[in-house]
Amino acid sequence: MKLPADVSGSELAKVAISLGFEIRRQKGSHLILKKGEKLLVIPQHKSLKKGTLLQILRVLEISKEELANML
């Protein structure tokens, strides 16, 4: 399955929060979230690049299909 097109940082932050991540702080346009020992930085851009999105999915431990279902 392909990645969902034009996923924004704010949409991805909502997904991360629903998976148990908590917002710790924001520095500029980057939102920092934490869950246990995992630290996640999500840029608050209109659409994330493919590599950035894939790396965030690895940290969230979800697949492209799961992301598509959560959006």
Sequence ranges of the domains in the chain: 9-70
Give the global pTM: 0.85
Which tokens in the block code for residue 27? 């520095």
Instruction: Establish how many alpha carbons lie within 13 A of residue 52's alpha carbon, considering only the half-sphere containing its beta carbon.
Output: 16
How does pLDDT run along the chain (71 residues), one tens digit per residue? 777 778 888 999 999 999 999 999 999 999 999 999 999 999 988 888 889 899 999 999 999 888 888 88
Do the beta carbons of residue 71 and residue 12 sit within 8 Å?
A: no
Superfamily of domain 9-70: Hypothetical protein. (3.30.920.30)
